[in-house]
Amino acid sequence: MAAAAETGPRRVGFVGAGRMAEAIAQGLIRAGKVEAQYVLASAPTDRNLCHFRALGCRTTHSNHEVLQSCSLVIFATKPHVLPAVLAEVAPVVTTEHILVSVAAGVPLSTMEELLPPGARVLRVSPNLPCVVQEGAMVLARGRHAGNSEAELLQTLLEACGQCEEVPEAQVDTHTGLSGSGVAFVCAFSEALAEGAIKMGMPSGLAYRIAAQTLLGTAKMLLQKGQHPAQLRTDVCTPGGTTIYGLHALEQGGLRAAAMSAVEAATRRAKEMRKWRG
C-alpha cells in the first residue's frame, strides 16, 4: 500500500451521510476536535449531504475522493452495503489510513478480508443519543490497529458521549443493551408518563417530567459512580410510596422483561452478524 498524503490539520472523512454520520460529525465539530472545513462526506445522492453542508463540511459523490483526502475515514453505510463499498475503495487504501465502521453486524474479520493486508480497521457501536452528544459507544480494534489508533478514535468520539474499548465479542451485547436499549428506555418513559396521565396529570407535563426523571437519574448514576441498587435504596423509605410502586413493578415482571429484551436483541445482533459474515 502506498502512503496517503495528508499534511496540516486532521481531516476526517465519512463514507455514508446518514443520521449517525451527521451526529458524529456534529459532535466532533462542536467539541472543536475537527474543523468543519476539514470534514468530507460522500453519499450517492444529495439527500443527506445537505445536512453536512449546513454544518460547513465539504461533500462529494465519490468514495474514492474521501479516501484520497482523509486519513481517518468513518464508514457509516447500511450494513448490507458496507462489503461492496470496502471492495470499491480497497485500491486506494494506504498504510496511513485508519478505517472505522459504524455498521452493525459486519465483523472486523470481514473488513480485513476485503481490504489490503495490514489495513488498520476498527469497529464502533454507537447509539442514537450521539445526536445530542450523549451517546454510549464501544469500539473494538482489528489485528493491525494499535493503541495509538484506538486512543485517537476514543478521544475523538468522546465528543459524542461516552466511548469505551471492548473485545469485539461484546459489541453485539452493546447493540442489545444500548443500541436497542434506547427504544426500551423510551417504552419505560412512556409507561411512566401514562401512569401519571391516568392519575390526572396533563400529558405534555407528564412526558416532560418522565424524561427529566430518567435524565437526572442517569446523571446521578454516572457522576457518583453508584450501583443502581444503592440509589434505589436511597429513594426507598419504609412504608413509603416508592416501595409500594416497586412491589407493583416486581409483580409485573419488570426486571425479567428487561433482561429478556436485552438478551433477545443481543441474540438477534449475533444472528445478523453470522448472516452477513
Q: Is the pLDDT of residue 84 over 80?
A: yes
For the segment 151-174, the average pLDDT, to the nearest whole number, is 94
What pLDDT is stored for residue 3 in this prediction? 38
| Band of pLDDT at residue 2, cut at 50, 70 and 90 | very low
Q: Is the pLDDT of residue 200 over 90?
A: yes
C-alpha cell at 135: 451517546
Q: Kindly report the number of other CB atoms within 10 A of residue 54's CB atom.
A: 11
163, 157 contact by CB (below 8 A): yes
The overall average pLDDT reported for the chain is 93
The CA-based angle 125-128-131, given to 5 degrees, is: 115
> CA torsion sign, 83 to 13 to 116 to 146?
negative
Please enumerate, by residue number, every residue annotated as part of a binding site. 63, 76-79
What pLDDT is stored for residue 269 in this prediction? 85
Q: Is the pLDDT of residue 8 over 90?
A: no
Between strands 39-42 and 12-15, the pairing is parallel
| Band of pLDDT at residue 10, cut at 50, 70 and 90 | confident
Q: Is the pLDDT of residue 4 over 70?
A: no
Please enumerate, by residue number, every residue annotated as part of a binding site for NADP(+). 76-79
**Helices marked H in 5-107:** 19-30, 49-54, 63-69, 82-89
145, 120 contact by CB (below 8 A): yes
Q: Is the pLDDT of residue 273 over 80?
A: no
Domain spanning 12-167: which CATH class is it, in words? Answer: alpha beta
The b-or-e profile of 209-246 (16+ CB within 10 A means b, else e) is: ebbeeeeeeeeeeeeeeeeeeeeeeeeeeeeeeeeeee
Give the residue extent of every domain in the chain.
Answer: 12-167, 179-274
**Helices marked H in the chain:** 19-30, 49-54, 63-69, 82-89, 108-114, 147-157, 171-174, 181-198, 203-224, 228-235, 241-251, 254-276
For the segment 149-164, the average pLDDT, to the nearest whole number, is 94
Percentage of the chain surpassing pLDDT 90? 86
Please enumerate, by residue number, every residue annotated as part of a binding site for NADPH. 63
> What's the CATH architecture for 179-274?
Orthogonal Bundle (1.10)
Residues in the chain: 277
Tell me the per-residue pLDDT of 212-261, one tens digit each, with 9 for 90 and over: 999 999 999 999 998 999 999 999 999 999 999 999 999 999 999 999 99
Q: Is the pLDDT of residue 1 over 70?
A: no
Cα 107 to chain centroid distance, Å, stands at: 16
For the segment 21-25, the average pLDDT, to the nearest whole number, is 93
89, 65 contact by CB (below 8 A): no
What pLDDT is stored for residue 260 in this prediction? 97
For the segment 6-26, the average pLDDT, to the nearest whole number, is 87
